[in-house]
Structure 1
Amino acid sequence: MFIIPLLIYAIVSSFSPGPNNIIAMTSGRDHGFSKTLPFIGGVALSCMIIMLLSSYFSLMLHQFIPTVRPILNLLGCMYMLYLAVKVMLSHSKKNNALRTSSYSFSFGCVLQFINPKVIIYGLTAISMFVIPLGQSHPHLILFSLLLTLIGISANMTWALCGSLFQNLLLRHQRLFNVLMGIMLIYSAVSILVSK
Protein backbone atom coordinates (compact mmCIF):
# COMPACT_ATOMS: atom_id res chain seq x y z
CA MET A 1 0.00 0.00 0.00
CA PHE A 2 1.23 3.50 -0.88
CA ILE A 3 0.07 5.21 2.36
CA ILE A 4 2.94 4.01 4.61
CA PRO A 5 5.71 4.98 2.13
CA LEU A 6 3.96 8.33 1.60
CA LEU A 7 3.89 9.01 5.34
CA ILE A 8 7.53 8.00 5.77
CA TYR A 9 8.57 10.20 2.84
CA ALA A 10 6.47 13.14 4.10
CA ILE A 11 7.77 12.93 7.68
CA VAL A 12 11.42 12.57 6.71
CA SER A 13 11.18 15.35 4.10
CA SER A 14 9.26 17.69 6.39
CA PHE A 15 11.36 17.24 9.52
CA SER A 16 14.74 17.37 7.77
CA PRO A 17 16.53 20.72 7.77
CA GLY A 18 15.32 23.13 5.16
CA PRO A 19 14.75 26.87 4.81
CA ASN A 20 11.40 26.98 6.65
CA ASN A 21 12.51 24.72 9.49
CA ILE A 22 15.76 26.57 10.06
CA ILE A 23 14.06 29.97 9.93
CA ALA A 24 11.35 28.68 12.32
CA MET A 25 14.03 27.47 14.75
CA THR A 26 16.01 30.69 14.46
CA SER A 27 12.85 32.74 14.98
CA GLY A 28 11.86 30.60 17.97
CA ARG A 29 15.34 31.13 19.40
CA ASP A 30 15.39 34.88 18.78
CA HIS A 31 11.77 35.86 19.37
CA GLY A 32 10.01 32.95 21.13
CA PHE A 33 7.47 30.41 19.95
CA SER A 34 4.37 32.62 19.96
CA LYS A 35 6.00 35.34 17.85
CA THR A 36 6.98 32.67 15.31
CA LEU A 37 3.37 31.52 14.80
CA PRO A 38 2.49 34.23 12.21
CA PHE A 39 5.45 33.08 10.09
CA ILE A 40 4.31 29.46 10.42
CA GLY A 41 0.76 30.50 9.48
CA GLY A 42 2.05 32.08 6.28
CA VAL A 43 4.08 28.97 5.52
CA ALA A 44 0.97 26.82 6.15
CA LEU A 45 -1.25 28.81 3.77
CA SER A 46 1.32 28.78 0.99
CA CYS A 47 2.11 25.10 1.60
CA MET A 48 -1.54 24.15 1.13
CA ILE A 49 -1.71 26.17 -2.09
CA ILE A 50 1.53 24.56 -3.34
CA MET A 51 0.25 21.06 -2.50
CA LEU A 52 -2.99 21.71 -4.42
CA LEU A 53 -1.09 23.18 -7.38
CA SER A 54 1.30 20.21 -7.27
CA SER A 55 -1.66 17.84 -7.36
CA TYR A 56 -3.21 19.30 -10.46
CA PHE A 57 0.12 20.05 -12.11
CA SER A 58 1.16 16.43 -11.55
CA LEU A 59 -2.09 15.22 -13.09
CA MET A 60 -1.57 17.33 -16.20
CA LEU A 61 2.14 16.66 -16.64
CA HIS A 62 2.60 13.29 -14.99
CA GLN A 63 4.64 11.90 -17.87
CA PHE A 64 6.97 14.96 -17.98
CA ILE A 65 7.91 15.13 -14.27
CA PRO A 66 11.13 13.06 -14.66
CA THR A 67 12.31 15.52 -17.34
CA VAL A 68 11.65 18.64 -15.22
CA ARG A 69 12.98 17.26 -11.90
CA PRO A 70 16.73 17.78 -12.66
CA ILE A 71 16.10 21.48 -13.40
CA LEU A 72 14.10 21.89 -10.19
CA ASN A 73 16.82 20.03 -8.27
CA LEU A 74 19.53 22.36 -9.60
CA LEU A 75 17.52 25.50 -8.79
CA GLY A 76 16.71 24.15 -5.34
CA CYS A 77 20.35 23.31 -4.69
CA MET A 78 21.55 26.78 -5.70
CA TYR A 79 18.92 28.49 -3.51
CA MET A 80 19.73 26.36 -0.48
CA LEU A 81 23.48 26.92 -0.87
CA TYR A 82 22.83 30.68 -0.97
CA LEU A 83 20.69 30.41 2.16
CA ALA A 84 23.37 28.27 3.88
CA VAL A 85 26.02 30.95 3.30
CA LYS A 86 23.65 33.64 4.64
CA VAL A 87 22.92 31.58 7.78
CA MET A 88 26.60 30.76 8.42
CA LEU A 89 27.68 34.39 8.06
CA SER A 90 24.88 35.67 10.31
CA HIS A 91 26.17 36.11 13.86
CA SER A 92 25.19 39.48 15.27
CA LYS A 93 22.34 40.00 17.71
CA LYS A 94 21.90 43.42 16.09
CA ASN A 95 20.97 41.66 12.85
CA ASN A 96 18.38 39.63 14.75
CA ALA A 97 16.76 42.79 16.06
CA LEU A 98 16.53 44.15 12.53
CA ARG A 99 14.95 40.92 11.29
CA THR A 100 11.96 41.03 13.67
CA SER A 101 9.56 42.20 10.95
CA SER A 102 10.89 39.55 8.55
CA TYR A 103 9.21 36.74 10.44
CA SER A 104 5.73 37.85 9.51
CA PHE A 105 2.81 36.00 7.95
CA SER A 106 3.54 37.54 4.56
CA PHE A 107 7.23 36.60 4.76
CA GLY A 108 6.20 32.99 5.47
CA CYS A 109 3.88 33.03 2.44
CA VAL A 110 6.49 34.46 0.09
CA LEU A 111 9.31 32.25 1.38
CA GLN A 112 7.24 29.12 0.81
CA PHE A 113 6.58 30.01 -2.82
CA ILE A 114 10.30 30.42 -3.53
CA ASN A 115 11.33 27.42 -1.42
CA PRO A 116 12.37 24.69 -3.87
CA LYS A 117 12.38 22.04 -1.13
CA VAL A 118 8.60 22.28 -0.63
CA ILE A 119 7.91 22.42 -4.37
CA ILE A 120 10.01 19.30 -4.98
CA TYR A 121 8.40 17.70 -1.90
CA GLY A 122 4.92 18.38 -3.26
CA LEU A 123 5.62 17.26 -6.80
CA THR A 124 7.38 14.10 -5.65
CA ALA A 125 4.82 13.10 -3.02
CA ILE A 126 1.84 13.74 -5.27
CA SER A 127 3.25 12.20 -8.45
CA MET A 128 4.83 9.13 -6.81
CA PHE A 129 2.42 8.31 -3.98
CA VAL A 130 -0.90 10.15 -4.24
CA ILE A 131 -1.84 9.91 -7.92
CA PRO A 132 -1.38 6.11 -8.00
CA LEU A 133 -3.95 5.89 -5.15
CA GLY A 134 -6.59 7.96 -6.94
CA GLN A 135 -7.20 11.12 -8.91
CA SER A 136 -10.55 12.47 -7.68
CA HIS A 137 -10.85 16.05 -6.41
CA PRO A 138 -11.63 15.01 -2.78
CA HIS A 139 -8.70 12.59 -2.85
CA LEU A 140 -6.23 15.25 -4.06
CA ILE A 141 -7.56 17.84 -1.58
CA LEU A 142 -7.38 15.38 1.34
CA PHE A 143 -3.79 14.38 0.59
CA SER A 144 -2.78 18.01 0.02
CA LEU A 145 -4.15 18.80 3.47
CA LEU A 146 -2.33 15.80 4.99
CA LEU A 147 1.01 16.80 3.43
CA THR A 148 0.50 20.39 4.65
CA LEU A 149 -0.28 19.26 8.22
CA ILE A 150 2.85 17.11 8.34
CA GLY A 151 4.95 20.04 7.05
CA ILE A 152 3.50 22.49 9.55
CA SER A 153 4.04 20.00 12.40
CA ALA A 154 7.72 20.04 11.45
CA ASN A 155 7.87 23.86 11.40
CA MET A 156 6.21 24.06 14.81
CA THR A 157 8.55 21.42 16.25
CA TRP A 158 11.64 23.29 15.02
CA ALA A 159 10.26 26.61 16.36
CA LEU A 160 9.47 25.04 19.74
CA CYS A 161 12.98 23.57 19.96
CA GLY A 162 14.43 26.99 19.14
CA SER A 163 12.32 28.56 21.86
CA LEU A 164 13.00 25.89 24.51
CA PHE A 165 16.74 25.86 23.93
CA GLN A 166 17.00 29.64 23.45
CA ASN A 167 19.68 30.28 26.09
CA LEU A 168 21.86 27.40 24.91
CA LEU A 169 21.51 28.45 21.27
CA LEU A 170 22.28 32.09 22.03
CA ARG A 171 25.40 31.12 24.01
CA HIS A 172 26.65 29.05 21.09
CA GLN A 173 25.20 31.20 18.30
CA ARG A 174 28.20 31.00 15.97
CA LEU A 175 28.40 27.20 16.24
CA PHE A 176 24.61 26.94 15.83
CA ASN A 177 24.66 29.07 12.66
CA VAL A 178 27.52 27.03 11.17
CA LEU A 179 25.72 23.75 11.98
CA MET A 180 22.46 25.03 10.45
CA GLY A 181 24.40 26.13 7.36
CA ILE A 182 26.00 22.68 7.08
CA MET A 183 22.56 21.07 7.39
CA LEU A 184 21.28 23.27 4.58
CA ILE A 185 24.29 22.33 2.44
CA TYR A 186 23.53 18.67 3.14
CA SER A 187 19.88 19.25 2.14
CA ALA A 188 20.99 21.03 -1.03
CA VAL A 189 23.32 18.21 -2.03
CA SER A 190 20.61 15.64 -1.22
CA ILE A 191 18.17 17.42 -3.52
CA LEU A 192 20.78 17.72 -6.25
CA VAL A 193 21.63 14.02 -6.24
CA SER A 194 18.05 12.77 -5.72
CA LYS A 195 16.57 10.88 -8.62
Structure 2
Amino acid sequence: MPVEQLVALIGFVAVMTGTPGPNNLMLMASGANAGFRRSLPHIFGITFGCQVMLLGVALGLGPLLSRFPQALTALRIGGALYLLYLAWRLVRTRHLSETDRDARPLTFIQAALFQWVNPKAWMMILTGVATFSQPGRFTASVALIAAAFLVVGLPLISSWNLFGAALKSRLHQGRRLVLFNRAMALLLVASLYPTFGMEPGPVEAVSAKAPSPAAS
Protein backbone atom coordinates (compact mmCIF):
# COMPACT_ATOMS: atom_id res chain seq x y z
CA MET A 1 0.00 0.00 0.00
CA PRO A 2 1.46 3.43 -0.93
CA VAL A 3 2.45 5.68 1.98
CA GLU A 4 -0.21 8.25 1.06
CA GLN A 5 -2.95 5.63 1.18
CA LEU A 6 -1.60 4.23 4.46
CA VAL A 7 -1.74 7.69 6.05
CA ALA A 8 -5.29 8.10 4.75
CA LEU A 9 -6.22 4.70 6.23
CA ILE A 10 -4.83 5.63 9.64
CA GLY A 11 -6.74 8.91 9.54
CA PHE A 12 -9.94 7.12 8.56
CA VAL A 13 -9.62 4.58 11.39
CA ALA A 14 -8.82 7.33 13.92
CA VAL A 15 -11.90 9.33 12.95
CA MET A 16 -14.24 6.35 12.82
CA THR A 17 -13.10 4.76 16.10
CA GLY A 18 -12.38 7.97 18.03
CA THR A 19 -15.61 9.91 17.41
CA PRO A 20 -18.90 9.47 19.30
CA GLY A 21 -20.98 6.44 18.43
CA PRO A 22 -22.81 3.62 20.23
CA ASN A 23 -19.59 1.82 21.24
CA ASN A 24 -17.79 4.86 22.63
CA LEU A 25 -20.84 6.25 24.42
CA MET A 26 -21.47 2.86 26.04
CA LEU A 27 -17.80 2.60 27.03
CA MET A 28 -17.83 6.04 28.65
CA ALA A 29 -20.99 5.16 30.57
CA SER A 30 -19.47 1.82 31.56
CA GLY A 31 -16.33 3.52 32.83
CA ALA A 32 -18.32 6.00 34.91
CA ASN A 33 -20.59 3.34 36.36
CA ALA A 34 -18.31 0.31 36.74
CA GLY A 35 -14.72 1.53 36.26
CA PHE A 36 -11.99 0.63 33.77
CA ARG A 37 -11.07 -2.85 35.00
CA ARG A 38 -14.60 -4.21 34.91
CA SER A 39 -15.02 -2.75 31.43
CA LEU A 40 -12.01 -4.53 29.89
CA PRO A 41 -14.09 -7.46 28.54
CA HIS A 42 -16.37 -4.88 26.91
CA ILE A 43 -13.38 -3.13 25.28
CA PHE A 44 -11.79 -6.32 23.99
CA GLY A 45 -15.16 -7.66 22.85
CA ILE A 46 -15.65 -4.60 20.62
CA THR A 47 -12.20 -5.07 19.13
CA PHE A 48 -12.68 -8.79 18.52
CA GLY A 49 -16.18 -8.32 17.09
CA CYS A 50 -14.98 -5.71 14.59
CA GLN A 51 -12.08 -7.93 13.50
CA VAL A 52 -14.42 -10.88 12.91
CA MET A 53 -16.84 -8.63 11.02
CA LEU A 54 -14.00 -7.35 8.81
CA LEU A 55 -12.95 -10.92 8.09
CA GLY A 56 -16.52 -11.84 7.22
CA VAL A 57 -16.83 -8.90 4.83
CA ALA A 58 -13.53 -9.82 3.18
CA LEU A 59 -14.65 -13.44 2.78
CA GLY A 60 -17.82 -12.48 0.93
CA LEU A 61 -20.39 -11.14 3.37
CA GLY A 62 -20.51 -7.87 1.41
CA PRO A 63 -21.83 -9.52 -1.79
CA LEU A 64 -24.34 -11.49 0.31
CA LEU A 65 -25.73 -8.31 1.87
CA SER A 66 -25.85 -6.70 -1.57
CA ARG A 67 -27.98 -9.59 -2.81
CA PHE A 68 -30.29 -9.55 0.24
CA PRO A 69 -30.75 -5.88 1.26
CA GLN A 70 -33.50 -6.89 3.70
CA ALA A 71 -30.73 -8.30 5.88
CA LEU A 72 -29.40 -4.76 6.37
CA THR A 73 -32.87 -3.62 7.38
CA ALA A 74 -33.10 -6.42 9.95
CA LEU A 75 -29.69 -5.43 11.36
CA ARG A 76 -30.76 -1.80 11.63
CA ILE A 77 -33.96 -2.68 13.47
CA GLY A 78 -32.17 -5.11 15.79
CA GLY A 79 -29.49 -2.55 16.60
CA ALA A 80 -32.07 0.16 17.27
CA LEU A 81 -34.04 -2.04 19.66
CA TYR A 82 -30.92 -3.10 21.55
CA LEU A 83 -29.68 0.48 21.90
CA LEU A 84 -33.07 1.51 23.29
CA TYR A 85 -32.79 -1.32 25.83
CA LEU A 86 -29.30 -0.18 26.88
CA ALA A 87 -30.54 3.42 27.22
CA TRP A 88 -33.37 2.18 29.44
CA ARG A 89 -30.86 0.32 31.63
CA LEU A 90 -28.82 3.49 32.06
CA VAL A 91 -31.86 5.52 33.10
CA ARG A 92 -32.70 2.92 35.77
CA THR A 93 -29.35 3.32 37.59
CA ARG A 94 -29.85 6.11 40.11
CA HIS A 95 -27.13 5.76 42.77
CA LEU A 96 -23.52 4.63 42.81
CA SER A 97 -24.47 2.13 45.51
CA GLU A 98 -26.73 0.50 42.91
CA THR A 99 -23.95 0.77 40.36
CA ASP A 100 -21.38 -1.00 42.53
CA ARG A 101 -23.81 -3.85 43.14
CA ASP A 102 -25.70 -4.10 39.86
CA ALA A 103 -23.68 -2.36 37.16
CA ARG A 104 -22.92 -4.92 34.53
CA PRO A 105 -20.78 -3.77 31.61
CA LEU A 106 -21.27 -5.79 28.47
CA THR A 107 -19.41 -9.08 28.58
CA PHE A 108 -16.81 -9.99 25.96
CA ILE A 109 -19.34 -12.07 24.01
CA GLN A 110 -22.11 -9.46 24.29
CA ALA A 111 -19.83 -6.67 23.07
CA ALA A 112 -18.54 -8.80 20.18
CA LEU A 113 -22.04 -9.80 19.10
CA PHE A 114 -23.30 -6.23 19.42
CA GLN A 115 -21.05 -5.19 16.53
CA TRP A 116 -23.25 -7.21 14.16
CA VAL A 117 -26.22 -4.95 14.95
CA ASN A 118 -24.19 -1.76 15.37
CA PRO A 119 -24.84 0.45 12.32
CA LYS A 120 -21.70 2.52 12.81
CA ALA A 121 -19.55 -0.63 12.92
CA TRP A 122 -21.08 -1.83 9.63
CA MET A 123 -20.53 1.55 7.98
CA MET A 124 -16.96 1.69 9.28
CA ILE A 125 -15.99 -1.82 8.13
CA LEU A 126 -17.76 -1.72 4.78
CA THR A 127 -16.40 1.73 3.92
CA GLY A 128 -12.89 0.80 5.06
CA VAL A 129 -12.74 -2.36 2.94
CA ALA A 130 -14.38 -0.67 -0.06
CA THR A 131 -12.01 2.31 0.06
CA PHE A 132 -8.65 0.87 1.07
CA SER A 133 -8.59 -2.73 -0.16
CA GLN A 134 -6.74 -3.40 -3.42
CA PRO A 135 -8.19 -6.00 -5.82
CA GLY A 136 -4.73 -7.11 -6.96
CA ARG A 137 -3.54 -7.62 -3.35
CA PHE A 138 -6.85 -8.11 -1.63
CA THR A 139 -5.73 -10.39 1.21
CA ALA A 140 -2.66 -8.31 2.12
CA SER A 141 -4.55 -5.01 1.98
CA VAL A 142 -7.40 -6.38 4.14
CA ALA A 143 -4.83 -7.63 6.68
CA LEU A 144 -3.36 -4.11 6.80
CA ILE A 145 -6.83 -2.62 7.34
CA ALA A 146 -7.42 -5.08 10.20
CA ALA A 147 -4.07 -4.14 11.76
CA ALA A 148 -4.92 -0.44 11.53
CA PHE A 149 -8.23 -0.98 13.34
CA LEU A 150 -6.42 -2.94 16.06
CA VAL A 151 -3.41 -0.66 16.58
CA VAL A 152 -5.19 2.68 16.19
CA GLY A 153 -8.70 1.79 17.28
CA LEU A 154 -8.06 -0.07 20.54
CA PRO A 155 -6.30 2.85 22.34
CA LEU A 156 -8.93 5.31 21.13
CA ILE A 157 -11.95 3.38 22.34
CA SER A 158 -10.11 2.66 25.61
CA SER A 159 -9.66 6.40 26.13
CA TRP A 160 -13.44 6.88 26.17
CA ASN A 161 -13.76 4.32 28.94
CA LEU A 162 -10.86 5.84 30.89
CA PHE A 163 -12.50 9.27 30.64
CA GLY A 164 -15.71 7.83 32.04
CA ALA A 165 -13.77 6.09 34.83
CA ALA A 166 -12.09 9.39 35.70
CA LEU A 167 -15.54 10.91 36.24
CA LYS A 168 -16.67 8.16 38.61
CA SER A 169 -15.43 9.80 41.82
CA ARG A 170 -17.18 13.05 40.91
CA LEU A 171 -20.51 11.28 40.49
CA HIS A 172 -20.76 10.51 44.22
CA GLN A 173 -22.21 13.95 44.87
CA GLY A 174 -25.92 14.64 44.70
CA ARG A 175 -27.79 13.59 41.58
CA ARG A 176 -24.80 13.73 39.27
CA LEU A 177 -24.91 10.04 38.37
CA VAL A 178 -28.62 10.25 37.55
CA LEU A 179 -28.05 13.24 35.27
CA PHE A 180 -24.98 11.66 33.68
CA ASN A 181 -26.76 8.39 32.91
CA ARG A 182 -29.78 10.20 31.52
CA ALA A 183 -27.50 12.27 29.29
CA MET A 184 -25.75 9.10 28.09
CA ALA A 185 -29.12 7.47 27.45
CA LEU A 186 -30.25 10.45 25.36
CA LEU A 187 -27.01 10.39 23.37
CA LEU A 188 -27.42 6.66 22.72
CA VAL A 189 -30.93 7.27 21.42
CA ALA A 190 -29.64 10.19 19.32
CA SER A 191 -27.01 7.90 17.81
CA LEU A 192 -29.88 6.04 16.15
CA TYR A 193 -30.46 8.98 13.81
CA PRO A 194 -28.05 7.85 11.06
CA THR A 195 -29.03 4.20 11.46
CA PHE A 196 -31.73 4.18 8.83
CA GLY A 197 -29.77 6.41 6.48
CA MET A 198 -26.99 3.89 5.90
CA GLU A 199 -26.62 3.60 2.15
CA PRO A 200 -25.87 0.34 0.31
CA GLY A 201 -23.06 1.96 -1.70
CA PRO A 202 -20.16 0.54 0.39
CA VAL A 203 -21.73 -2.92 0.22
CA GLU A 204 -21.78 -2.77 -3.57
CA ALA A 205 -18.20 -1.45 -3.64
CA VAL A 206 -16.98 -4.35 -1.51
CA SER A 207 -18.85 -6.74 -3.81
CA ALA A 208 -16.95 -5.32 -6.78
CA LYS A 209 -13.53 -5.55 -5.09
CA ALA A 210 -13.72 -8.90 -3.33
CA PRO A 211 -12.35 -11.82 -5.34
CA SER A 212 -14.92 -14.38 -6.37
CA PRO A 213 -14.72 -17.92 -4.92
CA ALA A 214 -13.84 -19.25 -8.36
CA ALA A 215 -10.92 -16.84 -8.63
CA SER A 216 -9.54 -17.97 -5.29
Per the shorter chain, which TM-score range?
A: 0.7 to 0.9
Q: Displacement of 1:157 after TM fit? A: 0.8
1:165 aligned residue: 167
Aligned mate of 1:190, from 188, 191, 194: 194
1:138 aligned residue: 140
1:176 aligned residue: 180
RMSD: 3.3
What is the rounded CA distance, in whole Å, between the counterparts of 1:2 and 1:65 in structure 2? 31
Between 58-67 and 170-179, the greater mean CA deviation after superposition:
58-67
Please say if 1:32 is aligned against 2:32.
no
What is the rounded CA distance, in whole Å, between the counterparts of 2:123 and 2:27 in structure 1? 20
Code of the aligned partner of 1:54: V
Code of the aligned partner of 2:191: S
What is the rounded CA distance, in whole Å, between the counterparts of 1:151 and 1:22 in structure 2? 15
Q: Deviations over 1:141-193 (max 9, x none)?
A: 11022124443233201111012222224431111112111211221112223
Q: Displacement of 1:99 after TM fit? A: 4.0
Aligned mate of 1:109, from 109, 112, 136: 112
Unaligned runs of 5+ in 2: 200-216
What is the rounded CA distance, in whole Å, between the counterparts of 1:64 and 1:103 in structure 2? 32
2:48 aligned residue: 45
Q: Deviations over 1:59-100 (max 9, x none)?
A: 644854877545544443333233223323332435423445
What is the rounded CA distance, in whole Å, between the counterparts of 2:146 and 2:77 in structure 1? 25
Code of the aligned partner of 1:187: S
1:122 aligned residue: 125
Higher relative contact order (CA 8 A, sep 6+): 1
What is the rounded CA distance, in whole Å, between the counterparts of 1:20 and 1:170 in structure 2? 25
What is the rounded CA distance, in whole Å, between the counterparts of 1:13 and 1:170 in structure 2? 32
2:208 aligned residue: none
1:22 aligned residue: 25
Question: How much identity, in percent, do the aligned residues show?
Answer: 24
- Point out the structure with the larger helix share: 1
Q: Displacement of 1:139 after TM fit? A: 1.0
CA distance 1:149–1:73, change in 2 (3 Å): farther
CA distance 1:39–1:67, change in 2 (3 Å): closer
What is the rounded CA distance, in whole Å, between the counterparts of 1:81 and 1:104 in structure 2? 18
Tell me which structure has the larger Cα radius of gyration: 2
What is the rounded CA distance, in whole Å, between the counterparts of 2:41 and 2:149 in structure 1? 20
1:81 aligned residue: 84
Between 147-156 and 135-144, the greater mean CA deviation after superposition:
147-156
What is the rounded CA distance, in whole Å, between the counterparts of 1:150 and 1:77 in structure 2? 27
Count of equivalent residues:
194
Question: TM-score w.r.t. structure 1 length?
Answer: 0.75
Code of the aligned partner of 1:152: L
Between 71-80 and 181-190, the greater mean CA deviation after superposition:
71-80
1:10 aligned residue: 13
